[in-house]
Amino acid sequence: MLDIRYIRENTQKAQELLNLRSNSQEYDLAPILELDQQQKELESTRTELQRRSNEIGKLVPQKIKQGENVDQLKQEGNKIKQEINDLEPKEKELKTSIEQLLLTLPNFPSHSTPVGKDEQENVEIKRWGDEFIKSQQVLPHWEIGEKLGILEFEKAVKVAKSRFVALFGAGAALERALISLMLDCHIAAGYTEVMPPILINSESMQGTGQLPKFAAEGFNCPQDNLWLAPTAEVPVTNLYRDEILDLAQLPIYHCAYTPCFRREAGSHGKDTRGLIRLHQFNKVELVKIVSPQTSEKEHQKLLQDAEAILQILKLPYRVIELCTGDLGFGAAKCYDIEVYLPYAGKYREISSCSNFGDFQARRANIRYKESGQKGTNYVHTLNGSGLAVGRTMAAILENYQQIDGKVQVPRALQPYLKREFL
């Protein structure tokens, strides 16, 4: 959530930053500022009434002591108290209205985020593993998986609906091995593993920015007011909601494996086959809670930690820095890691590594306090996939495909799978 004080004091700059986003026409600050002015006027009125009430409170005993009649003063005091009581619900209503409008605004882009209208103006930062890219014709991963008997889409439809998959035999083992490899690598890099709840409340979804904007993307259990986690970012970050941390506790690094659930609203006709865009998929997530002073450095390290998995698996990829017009709702700065899929001859997103600044921290009220210092500050939150497991499997099936139809198991996974080929 954005800081209303910053918007109030830097309105033109705030509007300019929001205008850098692709759908900037949605973000009009005028209604928020109008409500904010009304709230300030009510606060001023209440302050003046409270001052007069305090003044009367001191005058009454003095007048009584001097033998003067205080009935009129008491009547005035009672009237003022009633006026103050009448103002409180109005102020509360205004505060709620302002907060609801603020929740619809995206984060400001970072000063270092490249300016651009859409994904066509994203900036390629690097490529890795070009020498591993195969030139010969390969089958798509879903055909390879079906031929090997490890991926079953039709049976999954029978159990659920389209965009679900069932894994059999070596396919299930490969998925499990990838999760274990990712967790082992991230734990070795200093992350503490968390296994969070998969059903999460609306406060948590709001805290990390999924609500209210992305309600249509989520799977909701309305009877219990719970949501299926769209990503481990949500429950892991919200473990610290409404907490004041000591600066000495920072940085906090967590990694977490969870199944993830998304409706993929608005993606009809895209990636209808295969493992790229499912309603349920597994993912290992990296979450960092850090001080503002180390935020940018921690973002670069987060990116490296996600890249490391692809390097260990020897899967070719590239890193893209998203421009202002392609940033996610809550991100101030974001790098996408895209793995190469030979069948399509394209790089496809496998991780987004985002720095949210204090955007999520304001929504979730996560603060820190320095020893010996008065007051608190908001932490910075960061997260990224480390990695999306299904997409990693798809990349392995296509990049490690052999002429005889088998798929070689990447060397790093062989100790987990106890085999060299699928």
Q: Which of 277, 291, 296, 318 is catalytic?
A: 277
CB 259 within 8 A of CB 386: no
Q: Which long-range contacts (CB under 8 A, 24 or more apart) does 166-173 make?
A: 170/417, 170/419, 170/422, 171/145, 171/393, 171/422, 173/417
Closest listed residue to residue 177, CA positions, set 276, 267, 282, 254:
282
Q: Which of 91, 99, 296, 349 is catalytic?
A: 349
Query: What is the rounded CA–CA span in Å between residue 41 and residue 94?
Result: 11
Query: What is the rounded CA–CA span in Å between residue 236 and residue 231?
Result: 9
Q: Which of 204, 295, 352, 354 is catalytic?
A: 352
Using H for helix, E for strand and C for coil, what is the string for 6-28?
HHHHCHHHHHHHHHCCCCHHHCC
Alpha helix segments (H runs only) across 66-169:
71-102, 141-148, 154-159
List, as one string, the DSSP characters of 122-141.
Answer: -EEEEEE-GGG---S----H
262: annotated active-site residue: yes
352: annotated active-site residue: yes
391: annotated active-site residue: yes
List 421's β-bridge partners, or say none.
408
CB 275 within 8 A of CB 391: yes
Q: Which of 262, 348, 362, 363 is catalytic?
A: 262
Tell me the catalytic residues: 262, 277, 349, 352, 391
